[in-house]
Structure 1
Amino acid sequence: MKVDEEELITGLAKAYMLMHRRVNRAMTKQGASLARTKMLAFVRKSGGSARAADIADLFDLAPRTVTESLDSLERDQLIVRTSDPQDRRVKRLAITPLGESAIAATEPLRRELMAEICAVLSETDRAQLHDILSRLVASLSEPEDVVNCG
């Protein structure tokens, strides 16, 4: 069966959208926010080097949207902003112990949802999909791209 590029890309986009929707709904039912959790995970992985601009680039968000989200995370004491020692105009983001706790609280649900989503795939399917996605990401990535959203 020949599948054209349009069908492949549409199917990939639809699968992503449905996975995102399922995870977001499940997290909302638990009182968590997928968007906040993704942002916190990115800040944690950065080890204190993340900037608002990095988040805007990675998640393709408007700078104002990111600023508002970071303001909320900071108000809730989940992150802290500190001045960059080399450029005081730049603010670096770091996760707080409370932010770590927020991520830890969602981790069991996240793992459960990943297992549920992938349950339809055999080990062979998973290996093949991993290989295919790795090749797609490599072919689409620019050298400066950081494809690591947690």
Structure 2
Amino acid sequence: MEDEAIQDPGGHAPPGTFETELTDALVGIQRLIRRRLRGGLAGPRLRGAEVELLRLVESRPGIGVSEAAKELHLASNSVSTLVNQLVRDAYLVRETDPADRRAARLRLTEAAEKRLEDWHRRRADLVGRQLTRLDEADRDALHAALPALRRLAGRLREDIEEPTSTPAGATAAPRAPWTEGTPS
């Protein structure tokens, strides 16, 4: 495919390229899912970074604050602020690390577990209902694309962890980790 050859000097893909269309579709799907599910959630609305932290703690119970900051590509003091807010809202528990009394380990509260579980269930129901409305060929195409989308996500994650050099004349844009959807 020649799309790479037609990028502008700043390294951005012009409108109408495969890269732009794929990105727009993925971002649009994520935005629509968030909007459709936002109204039915119990409790205060959570910001994206708060949800990312909760999802990280969900996948890695007992993670430390500095390790979470590294994983989320945020400053430690920013993650500490998020932790303080989530502890105040009763979504996180901060426990002293027995190996290093100066460090904290993070765990979800029951309220956070229920909120994330509810979000996951409602998201799966919403997407499942819409998938059943597609014809079989579209469902098969989406299913077949999953391995490639996972590899793309993995490459994007690797790029965050080991950024490549910025093209001449371009400025590096801040990078944020890819997320599937956020219960905000």
When normalised by structure 2's length, the TM-score is 0.61
Query: 1: CA distance between counterparts of 2:67 and 2:130?
Result: 29
Query: 2: CA distance between counterparts of 1:129 and 1:81?
Result: 39
Q: 2:27 aligns with which of 17, 37, 44?
A: 17
Change (3 A) 1:110 1:62: farther
1:39 and 2:38 are equivalent in the alignment: no
SS of match in other structure, 2:100:
coil
SS of match in other structure, 1:90:
strand
Where structure 1 has 5 or more consecutive residues not aligned to the other structure, the ranges are: none
Query: 2: CA distance between counterparts of 1:95 and 1:148?
Result: 21
Where structure 2 has 5 or more consecutive residues not aligned to the other structure, the ranges are: 5-12, 162-176
Q: What does residue 26 of structure 1 align with?
A: 36
Query: 2: CA distance between counterparts of 1:118 and 1:89?
Result: 49
Q: What does residue 121 of structure 2 align with?
A: 108
Residues 63-117 of structure 1 deviation map (CA, whole Å, 9 limit, x = unaligned): 4443332222111211101122222332211011122122233233211233256
Q: Which structure has the bigger radius of gyration?
A: 2
Change (3 A) 1:8 1:148: closer
Q: 2:80 aligns with which of 67, 70, 83?
A: 67
Q: How does 1:51-90 map onto structure 2 within 5 Å?
A: 51-90=64-103
CA shift at 1:61, angstroms? 3.8
Q: What does residue 18 of structure 2 align with?
A: 8
Q: Which amino acid aligns with 2:64?
A: R
Query: 2: CA distance between counterparts of 1:38 and 1:8?
Result: 28
Of the structure 1 ranges 19-28 and 62-71, higher mean CA displacement relative to structure 2 is found in 62-71
Of the structure 1 ranges 75-84 and 62-71, higher mean CA displacement relative to structure 2 is found in 62-71
Aligned CA-pair RMSD? 3.4
SS of match in other structure, 1:93:
strand
When normalised by structure 1's length, the TM-score is 0.71
Answer 1 or 2: higher relative contact order, Cα 8 Å, separation at least 6.
2
Q: Percent identity between the aligned chains?
A: 24
